[in-house]
Every structure is written in structure tokens, then in C-alpha cells.
Amino acid sequence: MKILLLSDIHSRIKNLQKLVERAKNKEIDLILVAGDLTNFGGERETREVIEEIKKLGKKIFAVPGNLDTKETLLFLEKEKISLHSKKEEFKDFVFVGFGGATNCIGDGETIFAETEIYEKLKELLINEKKKKVFLLTHAPPKNSLLDKSFSGKHVGSESVKKIISEFSPEFCVSGHCHEAFGKEIIEKTFCINASSVKHGKMVLLDTKTKEIKWIEL
């Protein structure tokens, strides 16, 4: 399966339009959005982002980021594309998602305690050990190559790292830490930080070969 991964759009519509145009000639089965669609935007800003992504004509799953608001989450729910705090089956995978982040700036509706992130993901995954799982979060796993800020501080989620260790999803995709884009195998899980549309990047993943190709401005 070919999956287009994008994150941290931050309402940069011009960048998004250009990247979508570059993705139109690619083979894509599914689109995953790993949060921060807006900068504290409401329904109008969220709709603008989603309508642009819809131009690719593919199924979408999305989670909110720490800079998204309750209005963003409600719009994703209304459009039936939210994967926040839920799971959905598509082709060969069970997709499990949780948005927002912890210990950072953000809207009160999208900042969570580590215990809340862990308990909800555990609840969603507890009966999925025999299925191929694809984890979509905004926050990357803590103390990895994918959560390291420019200052060298690790800003990811301890709960996401713990879930990876305990449940070994086949893939984990996140965003949040723009500068830490790339891939890393954590225990048995192939993890990707999809970088940011804000900085002109998104990535195409082939789940069969585990090859990633960057689409850039």
C-alpha cells in the first residue's frame, strides 16, 4: 500500500497547494495527516486545509495537533476522517490514532497527560495483537531521533514510546517536531516523522518495501 504522510501544515495553504500538485501523479492509496492542520484555527481554517487535501481524491485519516482547537477536531469528526482516540480498518491494516501532545503550548482540548495517551492507546490496541497495526500520532516517541529539537531537547511522548515497546505496531507516523524528520526503527516498529508542510515537505511510504520518498518544494 502507498500512503501519503503529511503533518504540521499550520494553515500554510500555498505550500499545501504546491505539494498536493506534486503528489497528483503519484500512486496513493491513503492519506494520513499527523496534526497541526492550523495555528489555533477554527472550522473555516480546518476546512480550507482538508478541502485542499481532498483534491487528491483519496481516503483520509487525520488527528489534531497541539496547535489545533476543539473546532478542528469537531470538523474532522463531522467529515468522518478523524482517527483521534479511535481505530479504523483499511486494506491490510488497523489504523490507530491519538492526536495532540503533552507538556507544550497548545489548546486546552489538545494537550493531554501521558497517562491519558497511554491508557487510550492501550485500550485501542489490547485486542489487535494478531493484526498489522499502523499507529498515527501527533507526538513522536520520546528519546528518539524523531523527537529531537534544534536545542537537542527530546520533546516527544513517553506514552507513544511505551506503546511501541509493548504492542510493536508495524508502523508509527508522527509530526510535531519539524526539524527531526526522517525514519528510525524502534525495537520492531518502523517509525517516521513526516516533517512539516509548513517547511515544504511531505512523504510517500510504501508499506510493502518500507521505502520512503520525500515530496518537497
The cell for 83 is 482517527
Residue whose C-alpha cell reads 482516540 in the numeric block: 85
Angle among Cα 63, 116, 148 to the nearest 5 degrees reads 65
Which strands, in side-by-side order, build the sheet including 93-98?
A: 86-90, 93-98, 133-137, 171-174, 189-193, 182-186
Q: pTM higher than 0.85, yes or no?
A: yes
Residue 63 makes CB contacts below 8 A (sequence gap 6+) with 33, 34, 35, 76, 82, 83, 84, 97, 98, 99, 100, 136, 137, 138
CATH number at residue 27: 3.60.21.10
- Which residue from 166, 165, 168, 171 is spatially nearest to 184, judged by alpha carbons? 171
Q: What's the domain range around 192? A: 2-216
> pLDDT per position in the chain (217 positions), as tens?
999 999 999 999 999 999 999 999 999 999 999 999 999 999 999 999 999 999 999 999 999 999 999 999 999 999 999 999 999 999 999 999 999 988 776 666 788 999 999 999 999 999 887 779 999 999 999 999 999 887 778 889 999 999 999 999 999 999 999 888 999 999 999 999 999 999 999 999 999 999 999 999 9
Sign of the four-CA dihedral 15, 17, 20, 22: negative
At position 192, the amino acid (one-letter code) is I
CB 101 within 8 A of CB 138: yes
Distance CA 147, CA 159 (A): 13
DSSP assignment of 6-61 equals E---TT-HHHHHHHHHHHTTS--SEEEE-S--SSS--HHHHHHHHHHHHTT--EEE
| pLDDT at 106 (0 to 100) | 65
CA distance 126 to 13: 38
Q: For the chain, how many structural domains are there in total? A: 1
